[in-house]
Amino acid sequence: MMQSRSHTCNELRMEHVGQKVKIVGWMENVREVGSNLAFVVLRDFYGTTQVVVETEEMMRLVKSLNKESTISVEGLVRERASKNPKLPTGEIEVLPEKIQLLGRCRYNELPFEINRSREADESQRLRYRYLDLRNPAVKQNIILRCQVVAALRQAMTEQGFLEITTPILTASSPEGARDYLVPARKHPGQFYALPQAPQQFKQLLMAAGFDRYFQIAPCFRDEDARGDRSPGEFYQLDMEMAFAGQDDVFAVLEQVLPPIFARYGRYNLASAAPFRRIPYRQAMEDYGTDKPDLRIDLLVREITPLVQGTDFPPFAPGNCVKAVAVSDCALTRKQIDKLCADVEVQAGSKPYWFRLDENGELVGGVAKFLTDRKDALVRELGLKPNSLVGLAAGEKNQAVKTAGVLRRQLGLAADGHMDKERYEFCWIVDFPMYEIGEESGQLEFCHNPFSMPSGGLEVLEKAHRGEIDPLSITADQYDLVCNGVELSSGAVRNHDPEIMLRAFELVRLGEEDVKNKFPAMYNAFCYGAPPHAGIAPGVDRMVMLLAGEDSIREVIPFPMNKNAQDLMMGAPGPVSQAQLDELHIALVGETEED
């Protein structure tokens, strides 16, 4: 006996023929055949079973119910006359002796057909997510998520890590994204913040003497949505190791992740350890991105010197020109135009192209501007007849970005240049420590301000003395990338207060600023902190890859929409004046512009 039933709707087989059973679930469909014969499909969490109604009384009851009502069926299992080999229960059916209504669906019309909910408008799916999740295909992603999280926990525990939860209500901290703030009732005018990540807490655990920490951590960031990023909250496999460096972190994840990807993924091939390591600057030059999809065998090449001096304005002096050559390319002109339009939308810059035809001549696209450069281009790019060359031109950063998108789109579109049936991991290492901020125009941290600069205090002192450009300093920071998706960022941490202060001074933050912004961590490090390193792969992105989904919302039980709204619960929403008064909050309306 299982709960209030004897069997699930995916359990009955030929060996159960002749047995009396009790099954429960949702009435998925009713097909009437004549006045006293109907076939009912009953669905529960596990699967479906056919129930055959053959009496006037049972028929009357079934006809009074709307689809998706929950019912209990007690009856006899018998062999089906017309078997369905596509279903696990397709050889049997249940002849009911008793049907009991458990929960009536009071609507004649559903917002969408349950088994086709993925074809419905996304806003409808999110508003009626509890119906959307009844779709077995949608539910399977959530089951997969549960299995992956359980496997991650087991693997990390086997590696000697302790699962420790960290606070949800904490202090606001400048970590690169907007905080979600929570007013403090007992402290008028002051606020908690939901953690963007457990970054400081896990480093404090290292200072406290814990050797290996992890948790499946909720993180909260007030960011705009993307296909691979959900607004509001997300979860990550957060981990940190004391007395450890980059190689120690790599060794752990290279043991933990490949078996999980091979077992639960859509593809059963995953990179074996050690994963390939690619310096950041090399990744940008060779792939046009710091998130390269290594399943694609195409490379980005710079051809600026070869094309300058032509009459094509985008190749004018001062611009950078990148090329992606595709051998044995059979794309039609229509397909190339569509691909270029897609690249322009994604990259914000128009790409160009030309072919080397079967006769070894340059044709199509911008070929007429490059005829006199043919031999040099063929030699530099290793072109063979029937090759297509995609081009990106403009200011260097933009040309690099466009080339990266072009490489990916060509890899997806051209036959034979992408091995899609695998998971290909790589580490991106040696990230820049600093960058020039787009808005401020001043030196800023490029990524995590808590990363250890490569070369430690010595390299920072050289930058302070003007002996080296701060932009040349790299950090002991790394990203884990799989199939062109950034799964996580991590770093060897800056655990030395002296080095930390000198690193922050380069971005115009003095000792008092550091103490005020990071008081607990700075003080803890002054009591003797161990060298430590960590990383935090995103669970949502991981499951998205394993499920073969393009949108992260497909693997989250109750996701928000792109505008950070929960349409099902009506959040965010108004609160009463009494609640505002209790929190000492006054709402200030927007002033209308003249």
Please tell me the predicted confidence (pLDDT) of residue 448: 80
Q: Taking residues 556-568, report their average pLDDT.
A: 94
What is the identity of the amino acid at 561?
A: N
C-alpha 473/C-alpha 499 separation (Å) is 14
Among 295, 291, 202, 266, which residue's Cα sits nearest to residue 240?
A: 202
Please tell me the predicted confidence (pLDDT) of residue 2: 62
Percent of the chain with pLDDT over 90: 89
Question: Does the pLDDT of residue 227 top 90, yes or no?
Answer: no
For 137-155, the pLDDT digits (tens) are 999 999 999 999 999 999 9
Set out the domains of the chain in order of their start, with CATH numbers. 14-103 (2.40.50.140), 134-266+423-556 (3.30.930.10), 296-413 (3.30.1360.30)
| DSSP state for residue 118 in the 8-state scheme | G
- C-alpha dihedral sign at 511, 206, 169, 187: negative
For 327-338, the pLDDT digits (tens) are 999 999 999 999
Rounded to two decimals, what is the model's pTM? 0.90
Q: Taking residues 37-62, report their average pLDDT.
A: 95
C-alpha 53/C-alpha 61 separation (Å) is 10
Q: Taking residues 197-207, report their average pLDDT.
A: 95
Please tell me the predicted confidence (pLDDT) of residue 591: 46
For 2-30, the pLDDT digits (tens) are 668 999 999 999 999 999 999 999 999 99
Please tell me the predicted confidence (pLDDT) of residue 36: 84
Question: Does the pLDDT of residue 59 top 70, yes or no?
Answer: yes
Average pLDDT of the residues of the chain? 94
Please tell me the predicted confidence (pLDDT) of residue 144: 98
Please tell me the predicted confidence (pLDDT) of residue 229: 75
- C-alpha dihedral sign at 480, 483, 486, 487: negative
- 543: exposed, middle or buried (C-beta count within 10 Å: 0-12, 13-18, 19+)? buried
For 77-127, the pLDDT digits (tens) are 999 999 999 999 999 999 999 999 999 999 999 999 999 999 999 999 999
Find out whether 533 and 492 touch, Cβ atoms under 8 Å.
Answer: yes
